[in-house]
Structure 1
């Protein structure tokens, strides 16, 4: 399709919307009918890349509002609660840690102490991603920071380009499972999944209890697969002197780094104790970010720092959440679950886990967008499993794991897509497919062998 893909997508999306609008669906309300037509048209636009997702999202939100599909408080519900402010605060904190130089200093310290050969480079990427996941609540700036450090390692050790590609691929692939260990590991979509677990939205510690161990296992499996599938063409030796010189060039720790450390550590403490103090981590995150701009005690964030908060992403998230919430309010979700999904729900937890994983992967294979597929599949699965009386966290988190960890082509996951290309992670579709196809099998292992047994142990099932 090439350059005609957006035009084709525009036509396909409009035809899908009109086709659904003029089709009579028994048992679906008028509002639900409109929601279905607008939602699937929007998902088609996203999947074909008709325009930047923020613009498509704006059109969808306007359509819902103009046609009065649901009240504005439902359509824009992300802005009336703490979730959106958690995301804004997280972007600001990520900007602060990156611009202050604190993240780079930690990365060089770790490299100088623990990296000696190719295997230790791969392990160090996962270790640094884990450490920085607490400090930088977004995977992209974290990955690019680690990649900038790895570029120095690659150059100093004269690593062949073919092996450098493997390192770059590891940096961006590691960010996927590791970012799911902590609620704030990916503050753009983890909170979206957490909010979907109604009537029990998860706090920071609850997320860690539910997802921490499964995602640590997922990270270890990912690391093991990379070590087996992407062996170096020759053994390498790290130039410790050059790394030490780079670390020394950073100089003594600055006042701005010290203040950044203080505020980030305070944020982590407040995140971890949210069940004690009762303040939602969204308000905590926004308040900490704002304090980083205060004189004397802050001075880290400036007016220019607002440029690190992508408005288009916020609109995208608003629209993705609206698909699920407006779909629920209009009856679309329940109708989809009863019409498209089987009439009987598997009662065996392993069969159920495999079924949800399979459905999520199939839909994600075609639509690509993690957030868009979450907006469709999570509400449908929550409605589908409701007769079992199980905790809604179970279908939500199985779906989220399958959708967010699944990729075969780069467009399936933005963390993979942003790292592709010589100027970024140096890898291409070749490495992505080589790893992504067998990794799809791992997703069934994660849901059926890791997550469900673990959730049974902690009393979710």
Structure 2
């Protein structure tokens, strides 16, 4: 099957499309909702089988929504009139500035120099330095690859065997998923999508209030699980003089590092006070990215750095959110909720939370793509929860938690998938499964804690 995986997925997706498109319309579902379901399942199938680059599949789905008269273009492409998409674009550009200026590497090297005294400390550093870096780089992938470049040096100098090297690499990429939960700008794609699916507005500090503590807990739970599952196979010895040499070679902070740091501090201050000045974090991110490209004020970002903005990811995000938006417009979301969920939402918050977790994880295990699962499940659960009087953010953030930190196989989580192999974190499927299985219990614990925490802070 592996040899013809793309071809099989392509045909299977078309079969799903044709069967659902032309079958008799189910009771309670409009024709537009039926077409939305057909196109959505085709796209999800193509994403899962890697039929084409995710951005190309996204374009086909968006085009299908418009040409199939499922929804008007302004509904299908509504994300591009929202500041959320510009938080993603600004996040990519700020990440490019942190990397090209050398600021991110300097911070990572200094952190490792002070805390990498043992195998345990290296694993802990891999998980928690991402929280610090998320203040500077609003996207987990560049954070993970930047940190991995430093960890690769540590692995080499400590002469660690492949088994321990793979464990450290997995800690870097798995940690990027957990610590992305802490800040709204920790993952400028998945976090933005979670807020978008709720249909609510949430400030930078609001996200920190609701998700900061659960994000720290998720990082701790994942880190402890990692240390229990992966024991060191040899003594860890690191000559820190080599790290000091690298820092000396970098010299004092250059002008680009200082400018980048200054404007990121400005961005953080504006993000933290958005409830006062009402400037959306997306506009702040784009404004800071623009300033970083201006002479004298910034001059850090160059024209070539626009290439860091991944258009495929932008269209993928657009299509994933469109599944939710168009699904609500066409009636698909309400129909899905009526089919897979009990007739009446549980009134007990913990029972409701457990229902969301079980449904989300089950669908995530089948479909794989976090955004695609959020696009189908979150809108359906939001509408379902509102009938019971729950805040729409509750189901949206629970779904986000499940798809954001849970996996069994690499394709279940992009943060894990991008690090597979020697070009990434040096780990393979076996290590991923070994950590992912026990973390399933951890995800349930974190979700139940979120219910308690949200009751304390007034979200529920």
Displacement of 1:299 after TM fit? 0.7
CA distance in structure 2 between the partners assigned to 1:305 and 1:274 by the alignment: 27
Moved more, 42-51 or 319-328: 42-51
SS state at 2:135 partner: helix
Q: Structure 2 matches for 1:47-446, cutoff 5 A? A: 47-198=48-199, 200-446=200-446
**Equivalents in 1 of 2:115, 2:336: separation in Å?**
52
Query: 1:235, CA displacement in angstroms?
Result: 2.1
Secondary structure of residue in 1 paired with 2:335: helix
In structure 2, how many angstroms separate the alpha carbons of the residues matched to 1:113 and 1:217?
A: 23
Distance across 2 between alignment mates of 1:185 and 1:142: 10
Once residues 367 and 3 of structure 1 are traced to their aligned partners in structure 2, the CA distance between those partners, rounded to angstroms, is 20
Partners of 1:158 and 1:340 in 2: CA distance: 52
CA contact (8 A) 2:420 2:427 kept: yes
CA distance in 2, matches of 1:32, 1:225: 42
Displacement after TM superposition at 1:181 (Å)? 0.6
Shift of 1:340: 2.7
- Deviations along 1:190-221, one digit per CA (max 9) or x if unpaired, are 111012222x2212111111111111111001
CA distance in 1, matches of 2:207, 2:148: 28
1:3: how far off? 2.1
Q: Quick check: 28-37 or 428-437, which moved more?
A: 28-37
Deviation at 1:164, TM superposition (A): 1.1
Cα distance between partner residues in 1 of 2:423 and 2:305: 24
**Alignment partners' CA distance in 2, 1:147 and 1:44:** 32
Report how far residue 161 of structure 1 moved. 2.0
For 1:446 and 1:36, how far apart are their aligned partners in 2? 31
Secondary structure at the aligned position of 1:179 is classed as helix
Give yes or no for contact 2:83–2:282 (8 Å, CA) kept in 1.
Answer: yes
Q: Once the two structures are superposed, what CA deviation does each residue of 1:19-71 show, in whole Å capped at 9, x if it has no partner?
A: 11122212222221211111111111111111111111111111111122112
1:423 deviates by 2.4
CA distance in 2, matches of 1:22, 1:436: 39
Task: List alignment gaps of at least 5 residues for structure 1.
Answer: none
Moved more, 342-351 or 133-142: 342-351
**Structure 2 residue matching 1:317: 3-state secondary structure:** helix
In the TM superposition, what whole-angstrom CA distance separates every residue of 1:275-326 from its partner, at most 9, and x where no partner exists?
1111011111011101110011111011100100011111101100100001
CA contact (8 A) 2:184 2:207 kept: yes
Distance in 2 between residues matched to 1:405 and 1:124, nearest whole Å = 18
User: Distance in 1 between the 2:339 and 2:112 partners?
Assistant: 54
Summarize deviations over 1:343-367 as a string: whole Å, max 9, x none. Answer: 1222211111111101100101011
Distance 1:342 1:151 in 2: 49
Q: Judge conservation of contact 1:18–1:37 (CA < 8 Å) in 2.
A: yes
Shift of 1:18: 1.0
**Contact 2:198-2:379 within 8 A present in 1 as well:** no
Contact 1:195 1:202 in 2 (8 A): no
CA distance in 2, matches of 1:190, 1:183: 6
For 2:4 and 2:342, the matched residues in 1 are separated by: 37
> More deviation in 373-382 or 39-48?
39-48
Give the match's secondary structure for 2:344: coil
Q: For structure 2, list consecutive stretches of 5 or more residues without a partner in the other structure.
A: none
Q: Distance in 2 between matches of 1:260 and 1:459?
A: 37
Tell me, in whole angstroms, the C-alpha distance in 2 between the residues paired with 1:35 and 1:114: 51
Match of 1:6 in 2: 6
1:16 counterpart residue number: 16
What is the alpha-carbon distance in structure 2 between the residues aligned to residue 400 and residue 457 of structure 1?
20
What is the alpha-carbon distance in structure 2 between the residues aligned to residue 69 and residue 161 of structure 1?
51
DSSP 3-state at the match of 1:388: coil
Distance apart, 1:386 and its partner CA: 2.1
Quick one: distance in 1 between partners of 2:184 and 2:312? 22
Distance 2:168 2:44 in 1: 33
SS where residue 387 of structure 2 aligns?
helix
Cα drift, residue 334 of structure 1: 0.9
Q: How many residues align?
A: 459
User: Structure 1 residue runs of 4+, over 3 Å off?
Assistant: none
Matched, 1:459 2:439: no
Contact 1:174/1:222, CA 8 A, preserved across alignment:
yes
Residue deviations 1:123-161, cap 9 Å, x none? 211231111011001111100111110111111122222
Distance 2:447 2:115 in 1: 33
Aligned-partner Cα distance in 1 for 2:260–2:327: 41
The normalised TM-score by structure 1 is 0.98
Conserved 8 A contact 1:182-1:208: yes
